[in-house]
A and B are shown apart, each in its own frame.
Chain A
Amino acid sequence: MIGVNLWRKLLAAGALLLLWEGAVALSSDAVLISSPSDIAGYLSENFALIARASVETSRNAFWGFLWGNAAAIVLSATMLVLPRSERFLLALALLVFCVPLIASGPILRVLYGPGTGPQVTLAALAVYYTTLLALLVGLRAVSQNWIDLMRVYGRGPLATLMRVRARASLPYLFVGLQISAPAAFLGAMIGEFTGAERGLGVLTLRAMRGLETDATWSLALLSAAIAMTGYGALGWLGRRAVGYAPEILLSAPRQDADQTWWRSLGQTLLIVACVVAVWQLTMDAFDLNRFFAKRPGDVWGFLIVAENRDTLVAALAQTLGSALPGYLAGLSLGAGLAALLILWPGLAQATLPFAVALRAIPIITTAPLLVLGFGRGLAGTTVVVAVMIFFPTLVACQQGLRQTPGQVADLFRSYGAGRFVFLCKAQIPAMLPAFFASARMAVPAALLAVTTVEWLATGKGVGVLMATTSSTSNYNMLWSCVAALAGVAAAAYALVAALERAILRVYASEQLT
């Protein structure tokens, strides 16, 4: 059986390669598209160079992966042990995640000097947030009885964290880690744009400008392959480490006692004040030059001028207009694909590699091809944003769909319900918490994606305002954009969270006790 399957797969892969080769031969854009034989040729001719670059980027990605995920674990544990810190830490984590590379790149390079510091840091920054959110869901996905059990023995939150929550969150941690693998790789690669001496990112940049199409395609495929290896290895490790089929793990968001509006307003203001203080103090602590590391006061002074404010607001409106369709499309694509893969598991082997690849290849490589295919209008923007965010949604939703308790599955089977009915009535409600977790994760990712597209393809919006900084040194505008994007991200996040609470009250209400 296995032998036959393997042969069939090899045959399919071979046919695909032949088709690809043939299509390139017939294509008029032969300068921009490489055939499998060209790619193989390039890789074998430049083996030593490519191998050195791969090792360099992978090593940076590895360290970033470790640091970023360690940070996520520490942060999530802190939030559980000190619940009062949660809102603040979560807000801070979101805002740091929102700082775009164009603002963080120069700061990191000045802080670290030459070397791999910025690459590792950017890889870490690319992963910590998704893992944090996945872990927070996981750490809460424990039965109230387990917590009661701990309390009956007089054990507090710390013991509960160590003995119950940590272990119970393992399946979620591995989902986070799996999503992290390609993200860390991409982060390390993008980090090389801050002036690194070597690595796959440097080579990609050079290949694209040099119209070295074979090199561009080879590098993209190689990046994807390395990321896929990491993804696969973590999946395997996760299955071994978890070691049991998790029971029903629907977890509703934290139930805050119904707050009066003025209390939540007060809390929000307090968080904003803390964030502003952290922003100011961090920059002061590292003695970062005011020329490019703008403080809150500088931004305030800049935005107080109506002209500057109007420019920013107009750009922000354009950016949000293009971000929303892409965000919705990416979420639907991720959730839809997850549902399809549950209905037809055979599809997974064909689609997942593409999904991982799209997540691991830098957007500067994929965006031009997508723009070539879909144009520079709304369709193109939507596609690029969707491509950037659908992968975490897909992985999280797949995990969520598998959470349907076995007894519920049996119940549906006993009524002779088909797979589709089962999906709609049991699996999708079971998937909702994971879906919403990824919808929250996708908010900052969508904003970062859309600003990149604006810079590369549409020439509008906040992305252009920020990209212009490199020639104008208008760091006031850059940091105003950063502050505005962070504010928008926080507001959108809160909106999604409110929606989540409302919907989970209905679908996972039995989990709210």
Chain B
Amino acid sequence: MISPDIICDAVTKSFGATQAVSEFSATLKAGHTTALVGPSGCGKSTILRMIAGLETPERGEVLVGDEAPDAVARRGALAMSFQDPSLLPWRSVSANIALGAELARKPADQVDHLIDLVGLSGFADHRPAALSGGMRQRAAIARSLISKPEVLLLDEPFGAVDAITRRRLNVDLPPLWRARGTTVVLVTHSVEEALLLSDRVIVLSSRPASVVADIAVDAPGPRDSAFLDTPAVQDHARALYSALEGR
């Protein structure tokens, strides 16, 4: 699978009088995971939604490879996990996960595997109403993975997941999309999560979002819980916090 670069070229977007994103430019490399961090309401979700083709920039352009985002979406090569799990209440957990494949017109052949991976074994036939918030979010992540997308967009994907499961997912999931060569864009509040999951972290200022710091996470070694304790990563963390607090 050849994943495309994502190119944001001087993208600007406002909602009514408030400007959400101003002149944001970045090239997110194919097969890499890029995290967008920044204060609440800074416009990072808007950037993600523009990459997904859910919002159209006022000025500037978003390209995925040489295609517009909605063209990629129509190929079924895009997937997104939202802050709200947005499961369909009338479908069981496994049917909700399978939905991702159905919509992308791909075979739904990994449902059981993904249910195990996100730790929902035994809940395949439950309706969302019977699950906790964290469990629903994990089902939503599984749904975004099942179509084997070329571009995976994650908007606070683990916000409601309990700390232990979150740590485990932070370790277990990246190998999956790295092996597939997926281009991942992650929006998160958590500096640790950004470091653990990404090859690159972009720190955004608050509204309108513009780049404050752009850090490559090039520390060696397996990305497990010990990874965060390595000196190189700790340096990154300090740099990120100071960038976040600087404004």
Q: B78 contacts A152, CB within 8 Å?
A: yes
The answer, among A143, A146, A153, A170, for a CB contact under 8 Å with B104, is A153
Alpha-carbon separation in the docked complex, A150 to B54 (Å) = 10
A152-186 vs B, Cβ < 8 Å mask (1 yes, 0 no): 11110001000110011010000000000000000
Chain B contact residues (Cβ within 8 angstroms of A): what range?
20 to 34
In this assembly, does A246 line the interface, its C-beta being within 8 Å of a C-beta of chain B? yes
Q: A145 contacts B73, CB within 8 Å?
A: no
Q: A167 contacts B79, CB within 8 Å?
A: no
Alpha-carbon separation in the docked complex, A168 to B147 (Å) = 24
Q: A152 contacts B89, CB within 8 Å?
A: no
Q: Which one of B70, B78, B90 has the greatest number of beta carbons of chain A within 10 Å?
A: B90
Given contacts A151-B73, A153-B147, contact A244 B54 (CB under 8 A): no
Q: B103 contacts A244, CB within 8 Å?
A: no
Measured CB to CB, the closest approach of chain B to A110, in angstroms, equals 46
Q: B79 contacts A152, CB within 8 Å?
A: yes
The answer, among A143, A151, A153, for a CB contact under 8 Å with B86, is A143
| Contact partners of A243 in chain B: CB under 8 A | 90
Closest residue of chain A to B83 (Cβ to Cβ) is A145
In this assembly, does A369 line the interface, its C-beta being within 8 Å of a C-beta of chain B? no
The answer, among A145, A153, A154, for a CB contact under 8 Å with B84, is A145
Closest residue of chain B to A167 (Cβ to Cβ) is B90
Q: B147 contacts A152, CB within 8 Å?
A: no
Query: Which residues in chain B, 75-119, are within 8 Å of chain A measured between CB atoms?
Result: 75-76, 78-80, 82, 84, 86, 88-90, 99-100, 103-104
Number of interface residues of A (CB under 8 A): 23
In this assembly, does A411 line the interface, its C-beta being within 8 Å of a C-beta of chain B? no
In this assembly, does A148 line the interface, its C-beta being within 8 Å of a C-beta of chain B? yes
In this assembly, does A25 line the interface, its C-beta being within 8 Å of a C-beta of chain B? no
A199-243 vs B, Cβ < 8 Å mask (1 yes, 0 no): 000000000000000000000000000000000000000000011
Q: Which one of A149, A152, A154, A170 has the greatest number of beta carbons of chain B within 10 Å?
A: A152
Q: B127 contacts A153, CB within 8 Å?
A: no
In this assembly, does B129 line the interface, its C-beta being within 8 Å of a C-beta of chain A? yes
In this assembly, does A510 line the interface, its C-beta being within 8 Å of a C-beta of chain B? no
In this assembly, does A19 line the interface, its C-beta being within 8 Å of a C-beta of chain B? no
| Contact partners of A244 in chain B: CB under 8 A | 89-90, 127, 129
Q: Which one of A154, A244, A245 has the greatest number of beta carbons of chain B within 10 Å?
A: A154
Alpha-carbon separation in the docked complex, A245 to B89 (Å) = 8
| Contact partners of B79 in chain A: CB under 8 A | 152-153
Q: B82 contacts A149, CB within 8 Å?
A: yes
Alpha-carbon separation in the docked complex, A242 to B129 (Å) = 14
Given contacts A154-B76, A245-B129, contact A167 B88 (CB under 8 A): yes
Closest residue of chain A to B86 (Cβ to Cβ) is A145
Measured CB to CB, the closest approach of chain B to A67, in angstroms, equals 27
Measured CB to CB, the closest approach of chain B to A372, in angstroms, equals 50
In this assembly, does A247 line the interface, its C-beta being within 8 Å of a C-beta of chain B? yes
Q: B147 contacts A247, CB within 8 Å?
A: no
Q: A153 contacts B129, CB within 8 Å?
A: no
| Contact partners of B100 in chain A: CB under 8 A | 153
| Contact partners of A154 in chain B: CB under 8 A | 70, 72-76, 78
Alpha-carbon separation in the docked complex, A247 to B90 (Å) = 10
In this assembly, does B195 line the interface, its C-beta being within 8 Å of a C-beta of chain A? no
In this assembly, does B60 line the interface, its C-beta being within 8 Å of a C-beta of chain A? no
Q: A150 contacts B53, CB within 8 Å?
A: no
Measured CB to CB, the closest approach of chain A to B105, in angstroms, equals 9
The answer, among B73, B84, B90, for a CB contact under 8 Å with A143, is B84
Q: A153 contacts B54, CB within 8 Å?
A: no
In this assembly, does B52 line the interface, its C-beta being within 8 Å of a C-beta of chain A? yes
Measured CB to CB, the closest approach of chain A to B94, in angstroms, equals 16
Given contacts A145-B84, A245-B129, contact A153 B103 (CB under 8 A): yes
Q: A151 contacts B90, CB within 8 Å?
A: no
A378-398 vs B, Cβ < 8 Å mask (1 yes, 0 no): 000000000000000000000
| Contact partners of B74 in chain A: CB under 8 A | 154
| Contact partners of B73 in chain A: CB under 8 A | 151-154
Measured CB to CB, the closest approach of chain B to A409, in angstroms, equals 14
Alpha-carbon separation in the docked complex, A184 to B103 (Å) = 38
Measured CB to CB, the closest approach of chain A to B213, in angstroms, equals 28
A278-317 vs B, Cβ < 8 Å mask (1 yes, 0 no): 0000000000000000000000000000000000000000
Alpha-carbon separation in the docked complex, A120 to B103 (Å) = 40
Q: B76 contacts A148, CB within 8 Å?
A: no
The answer, among B54, B88, B89, for a CB contact under 8 Å with A151, is B54
| Contact partners of B147 in chain A: CB under 8 A | 153
Q: A150 contacts B103, CB within 8 Å?
A: yes
Alpha-carbon separation in the docked complex, A145 to B45 (Å) = 13
Alpha-carbon separation in the docked complex, A149 to B78 (Å) = 10
B189-230 vs A, Cβ < 8 Å mask (1 yes, 0 no): 000000000000000000000000000000000000000000
What are 10 residue pairs bridging A and B, where the CB atoms are less than 8 Å apart in the complex? A145-B84, A148-B86, A149-B80, A151-B54, A152-B80, A152-B153, A159-B103, A163-B103, A244-B89, A245-B129
Report the 10 A-B pairs with minimum CB-CB distance, sorted nearest first.
A154-B74, A154-B73, A145-B86, A153-B103, A152-B80, A244-B89, A145-B84, A153-B104, A152-B52, A145-B82
